[in-house]
Amino acid sequence: MISESVPGPCAVPVTSRVAPSFLPTTAVLEMTYLCNHACLFCSCPWYAAGNGFDERPEMTVDEWLALIRRLCTMGISSFAFTGGEPLLKKGLTEIIEGAAACTTEFVDSENGALVSRRAPPKLFLLSNGRSMNRGILDLCRKHGINLSMSLPGLATFAEHTAGGDPQNVLKWFREAHAAGVTTTVGVTVTSRNLHELYETIAEALLAGADTLLMNRFLPGGRGLAHADLMLDRDDIPVMLDTAEEVLRTANRYGSVGTEMPKCFVDGSRYKHLTVGTRCSAALSFFVIDPSGYVRVCNHSPVRLQHVRELEGVKMHPYWRTFTQKDYLPKDCAGCRMMADCDGGCREAAHVVGGQVDSRDPMISG
């Protein structure tokens, strides 16, 4: 990684400063609508029947490259390449090489001051593993890219992914480990694979996965047709305790991707598993879809502005709802935990309940 000090507003340490832009520092880039799985739990909004999220022309490689360069002037310091299945995007390697060749501004807190440095952005690649190949592993190793692959069960893998083979994913974890690539296993937990969660995480860690990213199933996209996959309230502690147990045994760490209602979870119980209760959409990350439209998060079916009109996002009412956290469910209004909690996943609540301040589907059942 190249790192250099940067002259400018933050050359001298300060305790506050205007950020390089209004945008969160992590951009999730949905490379393509295409996918070679048909996962039951998939939440990509364009796979939901009848929600009006149409597939518009995808951005070209050159458009992606220009956008990434622009975002690097706006303080975006992490890019996560996802999809659909990003490995199906023609020109993905060129796009990633382009991103790795950029430098961006990192603003960090050090000893009570904000310090700035320039370095290439951090890169993450999220794949289902089916199209993984040696070239992609080499790319990840070359640029220090964190590779995340999905493993939604072992015995139930084929059922969840319409015929996939978990051994293929495990093989690539082993290959990645041997190649020195840092990896994350992504596990979406459903009512059908909860029973084998211990084994699923364990197999991935034994194959070389470095960290765990665990998500509870949330209805959205294709998953709207499979509401029976949702965990109920009693399943949540089972899921968390199981993951904690595996991680503790292996001395590894992980996190739960989707925020939980705090009244469901005592996150302090978990030492190896980080459990969030606050929504970070539009604050820590945002999404750009395959056609170049900005969304607050990957669950969101709401397109805001096209990246051609990026500045317009700043005061978009929907964006503002998230930056100001103006979405607490009415049921939570009197709750004493509201300082530490956003009432669960706001976009899942929106998708299922119709409003961004609807109940989290796990609460509403």
Partner 1 sequence: MPWLIAVFAAVMLLILFAGCRPAAKPPAPPTPGPGPTQPAPPEPDKPAVSLKTRDEIRARLSQLEKSEPPTELKPQAMCYAPTVPLERADYVCPKCGEKTIFAAKADHTLDNVVGDVSGLPEMRRLIGRMPVPWMQLDESQFCGKCSPGIDVPKLFLVVRVPGQAEPRKTADVGPEDLLLLQEFLSGADKYTDAGGGEAPMKIYLPRIEELLGVKP
Q: Which residues are at the interface with partner 1 (CB under 8 A)? A: 14-19, 21-23, 26, 28, 78, 80, 107-109, 111-114, 124, 126, 146, 148, 184, 211, 213, 255-259, 267-268, 274-280, 283-285, 287, 297-298, 314-315, 319-320, 323-326, 328, 333-334, 336, 338-340, 342
Nearest approach, Cβ of residue 259 and partner 1 (Å): 7
Nearest approach, Cβ of residue 205 and partner 1 (Å): 15
Residue placing its CB nearer to partner 1 in the complex, 203 or 347: 347
Contact 131, 87 (CB under 8 A): yes
Instruction: Please give the structure tokens belonging to residue 193.
Output: 């694979």
Residue 347 host element (H or E):
helix 346-353
Nearest approach, Cβ of residue 348 and partner 1 (Å): 14
Nearest approach, Cβ of residue 182 and partner 1 (Å): 11
Contact 295, 347 (CB under 8 A): no
Dihedral over alpha carbons 352, 358, 360, 365 (to 10 degrees): -70
Residue placing its CB nearer to partner 1 in the complex, 156 or 261: 261
Residue placing its CB nearer to partner 1 in the complex, 154 or 345: 345
Give the burial string for 301-311 (b: 16+ CB within 10 Å, else e): bbbbbbbeebe
Residue placing its CB nearer to partner 1 in the complex, 26 or 190: 26
Q: Report whether the peptide linkage leading into residue 365 is cis, meaning its omega lies within 30 degrees of zero.
A: no
For the beta carbon of residue 200, count every other beta carbon within 10 angstroms.
28
d(CA 163, CA 178): 27
Nearest approach, Cβ of residue 62 and partner 1 (Å): 25
Q: Tell me which residue has tokens 């890219």.
A: 145
